[in-house]
């Protein structure tokens, strides 16, 4: 169930962002404290952090760019292009789907800051919810940006 939920959410995210253009990604609206590019990168970096721990699958600077509490106004390095983020999200989805059923049943070995997360399956459910929340924000931000 949790992998289905994750794949539904990730596929929805990929379908939506595939139609975006680079110019739209970095418009900072007065109504939001981040940009669409930040939300896309945040989803990628958060899933990588919690599911792959000390991963080398994405650049280390993504933590500085996309961690909670960061914002594009503070960036000192250039953020990745949309096509790069899109490809990394697809690759991450494939890597997540390669985990075994045993992995999903196994206990998480760290404290998750929200919810009662015990197994990796619980973690994936939480991460899918988190990703869906950010997809909703991305869609709202896109409407605001396009209305101007």
Residue 84 has pLDDT above 90, yes or no: yes
Whole-model pTM: value is: 0.94
Owner of token pair 């139609």: 19
Tell which phi-psi region holds residue 53, choosing left (phi > 0), alpha (psi between -120 and 50) or beta: left
Residue 125 to residue 146: CA distance in whole angstroms = 32
Q: Domains of the chain: which residue ranges?
A: 2-146
Residue 62 has pLDDT above 80, yes or no: yes
2-146 adopts what CATH topology?
Answer: 1.20.120
Residue 1 has pLDDT above 70, yes or no: no
The tens digit of pLDDT for each residue in 45-56 reads 999 999 998 889
Strand partners, 9: none
């Amino acid at each position: 169930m949790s992998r289905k939920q994750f794949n539904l959410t990730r596929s929805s995210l990929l379908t939506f962002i595939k139609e975006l253009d680079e110019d739209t990604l970095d418009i900072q609206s007065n109504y939001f404290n981040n940009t669409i590019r930040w939300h896309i990168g945040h989803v990628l970096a958060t899933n990588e952090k919690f599911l792959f721990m000390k991963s080398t699958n994405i650049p280390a600077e993504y933590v500085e760019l996309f961690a909670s509490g960061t914002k594009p106004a503070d960036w000192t390095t250039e953020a990745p292009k949309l096509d790069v983020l899109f490809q990394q999200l697809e690759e991450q989805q494939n890597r997540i789907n390669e985990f075994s059923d045993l992995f999903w049943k196994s206990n998480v070995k760290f404290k998750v800051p929200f919810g009662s997360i015990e197994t990796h399956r619980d973690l994936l459910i939480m991460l899918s919810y988190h990703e869906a929340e950010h997809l909703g924000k991305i869609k709202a931000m896109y409407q605001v940006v396009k209305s101007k």
